[in-house]
Amino acid sequence: MALNERSLKNLQGVHPDLVRVVKLAAEREPFIVTEGVRTIERQKQLKAAGKSWTLNSRHLNGHAIDVVDPDGKYDIPDMDHIAVVMKGAAAELGVPITWGGDWKSRDTPHFELDWKAYPETGMSFVSRIKETAVDVATSKPGVVTTGVGVGAGIAENADKIPAPPDLTSFTAWKVFSQTAIDLGSWVWGNPTIVVMIGGWIAGTLYWPKIKATIGGAVDAIAEKRRAA
């Protein structure tokens, strides 16, 4: 079944590899593309309304789409079936994609190019730094409670651990072990941001001690000189 006019319009500006996957999948299963490329203004509105967790959405640079079934809905059975077809088309074309329905916080209409294979971002570097700073400042890590063991406490509170910046997307938290892998991959792919955050944290925590140590050494030297 060919994509309708609305779907084709919403695919304008979307990455060609994702468009290829969508068109092949649409030949095998009918669905409607409801959204492709977003402006930063719309993304800000969605985040303010709580409908998106980040400004750095994969939609900004055409690396993500949202779809619904032909009835304009996203009922779970229908979306699960569409996901199977989309994944099959992606595998056939050799284009790695991620489905929001596989995230812990499910976003079943959402499909995006795998960020590891397509790491480009839709936000400027400065904007990413600003949002990262806000996320770090406002996030509240879950407290690991005692249970059968430490592992049990971590598993129990895994949903309370904040997502790392720019795992768009949300690459949402899945299980704790997968989360660790995702976080490690993000750290590896964003060394500049990691160094800046690490430097800020280290400076905040240790600079007073370093300053006091240096001051004490200088005072000791001066005292020795006066005694001599």
Q: Is residue 182 part of a domain?
A: no
Q: Is residue 128 part of a domain?
A: no
Q: Is residue 179 part of a domain?
A: no
Q: Which of 113, 132, 157 is the last residue of a domain?
A: 113
Q: Is residue 39 part of a domain?
A: yes
Q: Which of 113, 131, 155 is the last residue of a domain?
A: 113
Q: Look at the chain and report how many structural domains it folds into.
A: 2
Give the C-alpha separation, 14 to 33, whole Å. Answer: 11
Within this chain, do residues 206 and 108 fall inside the same structural domain, yes or no? no
Q: Which domain holds residue 87?
A: 5-113
Per-residue confidence (pLDDT) for residue 93, from 0 to 100: 97
Whole-model pTM: value is: 0.55
Per-residue confidence (pLDDT) for residue 167, from 0 to 100: 42
175: left (phi over 0), alpha (psi -120 to 50) or beta: beta
Within this chain, do residues 12 and 109 fall inside the same structural domain, yes or no? yes
Per-residue confidence (pLDDT) for residue 212, from 0 to 100: 73
SS3 65: strand
Q: Which of 113, 129, 162 is the last residue of a domain?
A: 113
Residues of the chain with pLDDT under 70: 1, 121-187, 207, 211, 218-220, 222-228
Q: Is residue 23 part of a domain?
A: yes
Q: Is residue 151 part of a domain?
A: no
CATH number, domain with residue 23 = 3.30.1380.10
Tell which residue, 164, 165, 163, 142, has the closest CA to residue 154. 142
Per-residue confidence (pLDDT) for residue 55, from 0 to 100: 74
pLDDT tens-digit map of 164-182: 444 444 444 344 555 566 6
Within this chain, do residues 16 and 102 fall inside the same structural domain, yes or no? yes
DSSP symbols for 86-116: HHHHHHHHT--EEEGGGSSS--TTEEEE-TT
DSSP symbols for 25-56: HHTTS--EEEE----HHHHHHHHHTTS-S-SS
Give the C-alpha separation, 208 to 195, whole Å. Answer: 20
Per-residue confidence (pLDDT) for residue 188, from 0 to 100: 72
Q: Is residue 135 part of a domain?
A: no
